[in-house]
Chains A and B, each alone.
Chain A
Amino acid sequence: DAKTTQPPSMDCAEGRAANLPCNHSTISGNEYVYWYRQIHSQGPQYIIHGLKNNETNEMASLIITEDRKSSTLILPHATLRDTAVYYCIVRVALKLQGGSEKLVFGKGTKLTVNP
């Protein structure tokens, strides 16, 4: 089962910042928080990931609370093309040697960017 909790849906005005929250209160110390998004029925697209510190890349920023029990994905200037389902995922270590990780997906947040 997914170890994260996200609101099922959110709306955002075009050009404004979209702040997507995620709760992961049972996260372990060595588990990363990943964000992916899925536009329509395409394959999920990697956005960003982090462990403890805040992270920023060309797509988004990730803010992780000090206790690591929650995080927020920020799209600084949302566009209509950012309308998608956003998945917050905690990485779980797989049992095979080599440390391969699986990503356990929940239902995500449906973000709608309105004109």
Chain B
Amino acid sequence: NAGVTQTPKFRILKIGQSMTLQCTQDMNHNYMYWYRQDPGMGLKLIYYSVGAGITDKGEVPNGYNVSRSTTEDFPLRLELAAPSQTSVYFCAGGVGNTIYFGEGSWLTVV
């Protein structure tokens, strides 16, 4: 996974709760991404960042927020969890032409 670490691996949330998915990398990746993957589907980009202090929305940003205060960390915040946010979340980091993914965080909202 080229130095991309996500936590937690599993989490169950109640509707309306908030939480932060942590992502950290130690490979000096400039670019970092958050994707979600629903069952049987491909990955959808939530947010991305090209460097510290710079973030932008991807394909499905609603209900999420991110920050990039350091090069190493790119946390994803869910403010008011909804059942539609039940998914597997992947953080990724890259430099140059390739992107490396973390192992995923399984989130269930009940």
Binding site for B on A (CB under 8 A): 2, 32, 41-46, 49, 87, 94-98, 100, 102-108
What is the minimal beta-carbon distance from B57 to any residue of chain A, in angstroms? 10
Q: Is B99 an interface position by the 8 A CB rule?
A: yes
Let me know if B56 and A94 touch, CB within 8 A.
Answer: yes
Known interface pairs A102-B58, A107-B42. Does A45 touch B101 (Cβ–Cβ under 8 Å)?
A: yes
Q: Quick one: given A44-B43, A98-B50, are A103 and B101 in contact (CB under 8 Å)? A: no
Please classify how large the interface on chain B is, using the bins under 10, 10 to 19, 20 to 34, 35 or more. 20 to 34
Which residue of A has the minimal Cβ distance to B32?
A: A100
The 6 closest A-B pairs by CB, nearest first: A43-B101, A105-B42, A105-B43, A100-B50, A98-B50, A44-B101
Q: Check A43 against B104 for contact (C-beta < 8 Å).
A: yes
- From A32, A42, A103, A105, B103 is in contact (CB under 8 Å) with A42
